Structure formats: structure tokens, C-alpha cells
Amino acid sequence: MNRLQMENAYAYGFLEETMLGPICLCASEKGLRRLDFVDAHELKRLQEIQREDSGKAGEGTIANALLQLREYFQGQQRQFHVAYDLEVFSEFSRRVLKLTSEIRYGELATYGQLAAQLGQPKAARAVGRALGANPLPIFIPCHRVLGSDGHLHSYSAPGGLATKSALLRLEGHTIQDERVRFY
């Protein structure tokens, strides 16, 4: 378990089978805190821990988020409606994550465009660093953010660019040589 720490104050939920492998969600009473990609062994271990410790605040958020995530992978959900708990992040990172959460299904943005929208046009790399720490990939769709040349660049979730490519393809984009193909 690399980044995921099970803490008593949070509720957890799991999707065992997705196109990206098992996923674990974590929520507080304020909203969804994390989405982690886990392997099958880690998934079983986390599920055992969760069974012993249920009834936590955030379980309603988890149920809602799991339903929406299942529908997203089935091509039915295009916009997520769930509260996020991002209070541990800096003000700049929260602004980047909020702006990224507003990128609609099928649309794309560049790091530079986001920096400009934040009123800091020279902060494209800082935007990239903030997105590299995105605790809620898919829900906060950093996979929709590209380099100015259309290249995918990095993706911090397991699988890296292959994961980013898979999500973009799911949303209808064509990827060729780690670059979105525009017509």
C-alpha cells in the first residue's frame, strides 16, 4: 500500500473490476478524499480491514461516487456530482484542481491554458505539479490536460501514459504516438 493509508475517520469503498484494475475510494464527512488504483492482493487486504470498521461518516459519499464511477466506465456518466475534501492542499493546488474539475467530458485543456485562466500565465509547470498530486484522478480529470503540442506528457496514476490514453480513448479521443490526434 504505497500512498493509501487506511485511517479510522474515513469511509472506504471499492470497485473490484474496471478497465484500469481495482480502485479504492476514501471519503470523509466533507467529501471524497482519494481515488487509488490498487492491485488484487491489496484490494482484498483493504476490504478485510473495511469490513471490521464500518459505519463511518462519508459512506453516503462513497456509495454515490462508486455508482457514478461505474457508470463512467460504462460510458453513461459524463459529469460527476460529488463533494471533494481537498483541505490538505495549498490554495494554489485547490484552485488548479477546481479548475480542472470543470473540464467537461470529451474536452481538453493545456497546462498553459489552465495557468492563464488562473491569472498566472507563466505557471504551466506549477499547474503540472499540482495535477501530479491530484488525489482524485478521473473525478478531477487531469487526464484531459495536455501539453501545448497535444502530447500527453505525464500521468501520475499507475500505468502512467497508458492509463491516461485509456481514459481519453474512453471519452472518444484518438491517441497516436502519445499525442491526441486532432482532425
Catalytic residues: 142
Compute the distance between CA of residue 140 and CA of residue 103 in angstroms, rounded to an integer.
9
Beta bridge partners of 145: 109
Compute the distance between CA of residue 77 and CA of residue 111 in angstroms, rounded to an integer.
25
Beta bridge partners of 28: 31
Q: Side-chain half-sphere of 134: how many Cα atoms within 13 Å?
A: 28
127, 103, 107: which is closest to 115 by C-alpha?
Answer: 127
Centroid of chain to Cα 7: 20
